[in-house]
Amino acid sequence: MQWLGRMLLIAMNLFCAASARAQDGEFDPAKVSESLKAIFQFGSAKTKQAVNANTVTLISGTIGGTYVQFGADLASVLDNGNEFRVLPIIGRGSVQSVADILFLQGVDLGIVRADTLDYLEKKGFASDIKKQFTYITKLYNEEMHVIAPKTIRSLSDLEGKTVSVDLPNGGTFITALGVFERLGIKPKFVYVEQRIALEKLHKGEIDAVIAVQGKPSKIISQIKDDRLHFVPVDYARPLQGDYLPATLSAQDYPNLLAEREEVDTIAVPAVLAVYNWAPDTERYRKLALFVDNFFTKFPTFQNPPFHPKWKEVSLAAPLPNWQRFSAAAQWLDAHRIEPVGRRFDEFLQQQPAIPNLSSDAEKTELFKQFKLWESAQDAQAPARDHTAKAKAPATAGGRTEPARALVRHPARLRAYVVLRNHRQVVVAIRAVPRR
């Protein structure tokens, strides 16, 4: 009994000492978060209900990809204690994410590739699947990276070669399969997670790795092997229906490209997608709460330290053949956020001296100048609401100075593509040096 009494006394002394340290500020885990402190002290069934009611779960992508970084950015900016929280989950590719949004309990939204739903329908795996999905916003274009030894100079050199296309349910697999099928090239595909695949490429166990990710891809930026390079992907006619032209530059990947070096490739849009919930459901309410928080704080994402691809995102950009989530459409309408195509039309109307601009190719050449004009518009109206726009400053002859420069030197730009649908203009332009 004396031994038991001594043990109890020691335990009480330790408890008191710990309490004293907490009061002195030496050690108090509860100070990490006042909201968590309240949950642990006063948590109840109502607390559980409130926390879950204001939390949305986002399925992102595979480790090392841009989707994961976007998920982390969303959580970093939007998390607000118990009032609102974004819970990102590492995914297993675009096809799996589509299935997770449809069937996995608790998944509210996800980042998927725009060509995924078309792939599932064309292959007969699903029918009318787009009716089950809506989108909150088009995010950015994902570039196709083909990494291989320098002996591989074109995609045709990969005929019969072993090529890793990430996991079998991923977006990289879908895009790679579509590109090679259209070009009539038949490599031997293997399905290996990207980090492991790059290690196998380094060891010479496979011939190429394909990664369709937003540049700069963190995992590709870490490659340090002088024997490897980017294989160009030409914007061939069979690819022009569903893909956009793009380039990879030394600014994106100084580890693989020399200064001012560029490599042509293609790109496909990424989409923030949700299930088509009815407006009177709890899941719809949670997603509407996400939309309000995300759209309101959106400018924050377009500044460091967040991923550079956020700068490509236009909340109002339409996505052909997709239906906008109604809460997102209502928010855009209420805040008068217009698609870029409408502003481009306004710009064209203010260039009366420029003749024959009816063709898409001519409009594409002007789009770059439009972006300069748009920047000037915003700079002239700093005191107004960010959605209000001033009129373009004109020079003699009714043209803006960028437009005059374009007319003087039209051969200095090469227009790759215009996709105009539902008043949308999607373009990619690359400057061609003066010869």
Let me know whether 262 and 293 are in one domain.
yes
Tens of pLDDT along the chain (435 residues) come to: 555 455 444 444 544 444 444 444 454 544 556 665 655 655 667 777 777 889 999 999 878 778 899 999 999 999 998 789 999 999 888 888 999 999 998 899 999 988 888 888 888 888 888 889 999 999 999 999 999 999 999 999 999 999 999 988 778 988 999 899 999 999 999 999 999 999 999 999 999 999 998 898 889 999 999 999 999 999 998 988 778 889 999 999 999 999 999 999 999 989 999 999 999 999 999 999 999 999 999 999 999 999 988 998 989 888 888 999 999 999 999 998 766 555 566 666 665 555 555 555 455 555 545 545 554 554 444 434 444 433 434 333 333 433 333 333 333 333 323 333 323 333 333 333 333
What is the rounded distance in angstroms from the CA atom of residue 2 to the CA atom of residue 7?
9
What is the rounded distance in angstroms from the CA atom of residue 299 to the CA atom of residue 327?
19
Could you list the residue range(s) of the whole structural domain that residue 396 is in? 340-431
Backbone phi, psi, residue 226, to 5°: -65, -15
Let me know whether 355 and 380 are in one domain.
yes
What is the rounded distance in angstroms from the CA atom of residue 131 to the CA atom of residue 129?
5
- pLDDT value of position 350: 64
Domains in the chain, number: 3
Instruction: Quickly count: other Cβ atoms within 10 Å of residue 247's Cβ.
Output: 16
DSSP code string of 236-302: -GGGTTT-EEEEEETTT-TTTS-TT-EEEEEEEEEEEEEE---TTSHHHHHHHHHHHHHHHTHHHHT
Which of 334, 366, 395 is where one domain is finished? Answer: 334
Question: Is the separation of the CB atoms in 136 and 291 below 8 Å?
Answer: yes
Let me know whether 255 and 351 are in one domain.
no
Question: Is the separation of the CB atoms in 392 and 373 below 8 Å?
Answer: yes
Question: Is the separation of the CB atoms in 58 and 109 below 8 Å?
Answer: yes
Q: Is 109 contained in some domain?
A: yes
Question: Is the separation of the CB atoms in 23 and 16 below 8 Å?
Answer: no
The two tokens of residue 111 are 């980042």
What is the rounded distance in angstroms from the CA atom of residue 121 to the CA atom of residue 324?
20
Let me know whether 312 and 402 are in one domain.
no
| Amino acid at residue number 433 | P
Q: Is 417 contained in some domain?
A: yes
Please give the model's pTM, rounded to 2 decimal places.
Answer: 0.65
Let me know whether 266 and 196 are in one domain.
yes
What is the rounded distance in angstroms from the CA atom of residue 295 to the CA atom of residue 189?
40
Let me know whether 273 and 376 are in one domain.
no
Let me know whether 318 and 387 are in one domain.
no
Let me know whether 18 and 95 are in one domain.
no
pLDDT tens for 268-314 read 989 999 999 999 999 999 999 999 999 999 999 999 999 988 998 98
What is the rounded distance in angstroms from the CA atom of residue 285 to the CA atom of residue 291?
10
CATH of the domain at 97: 3.40.190.10
Let me know whether 344 and 283 are in one domain.
no
Q: Which residue has the tokens 């982390």?
A: 72
Let me know whether 254 and 328 are in one domain.
yes
Q: Is 74 contained in some domain?
A: yes
Let me know whether 193 and 72 are in one domain.
yes
What is the rounded distance in angstroms from the CA atom of residue 148 to the CA atom of residue 202?
9
Let me know whether 160 and 99 are in one domain.
yes
